[in-house]
Amino acid sequence: MGVQARRIAAMALGALVLVGAVVLALSLSRPAPNQAAGSGSPAPGRTSEPTAVAVTTHPQTPAVPTPSNIPSETSTAQLDGLAASNVFWANFTEPIRGEFSFDAKSLAQATEQADIIVRGTMSELYVGELWTIDDFSYPLHYVKVRVSELLKGELHAREDGYVEVQMGTVDEERFDALRTSVPQHDGLWFLMYEPDWAGRGDSPMASAEIAPYAYFLTNEYQGMLRDIDGSVRLVQPDDLERVFGSDYFPLDLEGASFAEVVEETRELLANQP
């Protein structure tokens, strides 16, 4: 199961736990009903393999927990530049609980481990796949990135000049707001080719239309360097420094010239075997 697949499964479990807590609280605040507890709740220790199918419209889904660091009534349409980008990306980051997947200690290591590196701008946020866990369905959201430069690797694409990147999932109301206000700044994307890393096997998600073209960030904190007014701006750098300290990569790139970092990346790639 890929990185995003594990994330969706974890969020689904969190949603089920949240529902259970609400039901328990309500039951304690009123007389108990004259019947046994329902049998629809998952049994302890029960495991279910998620499945996925391609969809073309946004499905009706149960609410997904919203990260606590996102203002509930703030949308990117109300903000500009860095502030708007921060709100957008906060929807697709998770609290730092340890080392990241594909954790890089330097720009050189980041360029070595990425399957492809592109420079480009997000053009669309959309539902790429629908994951089903037990009786609940969750959308897996993607962004389509308009590629202005392919610095490394071979691009597998359904549409020439674009790459499709897994982002995670947000609730339906927040998705509707975000997809109309996708930040338009440039960025340097360090991506992994999902079919090489995820074991979709013979599951329904293996036949999803997007499956042969899916990419994901090395991780959401190191995998995308944003170009805001010509400077590199990281995704939630304060959280990185709080957890790992000021020497953690890529904190040394915060505020650097974006054009110079892109050029340094080209030079590093030119010197790789």
Residue 38 lies in a domain: no
- 131 inside domain: yes
Q: What is the pLDDT of residue 258?
A: 98
pLDDT at 202: 64
Segments of the chain scoring below 50 in pLDDT: 1-3, 5-6, 8-79
pLDDT value for 201 = 65
In a domain, 44, yes or no: no
Find residue 84's DSSP bridge partners.
none
Residue span of the structural domain in which 170 resides: 3-33+50-270
Rounded distance, CA 186 to CA 83, Å? 15
Residue 43 forms part of a structural domain = no
pLDDT at 172: 87
Kindly report the number of other CB atoms within 10 A of residue 170's CB atom. 23
Please count the structural domains in the chain: 1
Q: Identify the sign of the CA torsion 262, 266, 271, 273.
A: positive
Q: Which tens digit of pLDDT belongs to each residue from 130-151?
A: 876 677 778 899 999 999 999 9
Q: Is residue 42 part of a domain?
A: no
Residue 234 within any structural domain of the chain:
yes
Question: Are the CB atoms for 176 and 152 separated by under 8 Å?
Answer: no
**What are the CA-CA distances from residue 54 to residues 22, 50, 85, 87, 202 (Å)?**
32, 14, 28, 27, 15
Could you list the beta-strand ranges (E) of the chain. 51-53, 116-133, 136-152, 162-168, 186-193, 214-217, 224-228, 231-233
Residue 80 confidence (pLDDT): 60
Is the separation of the CB atoms in 166 and 214 below 8 Å?
Answer: yes
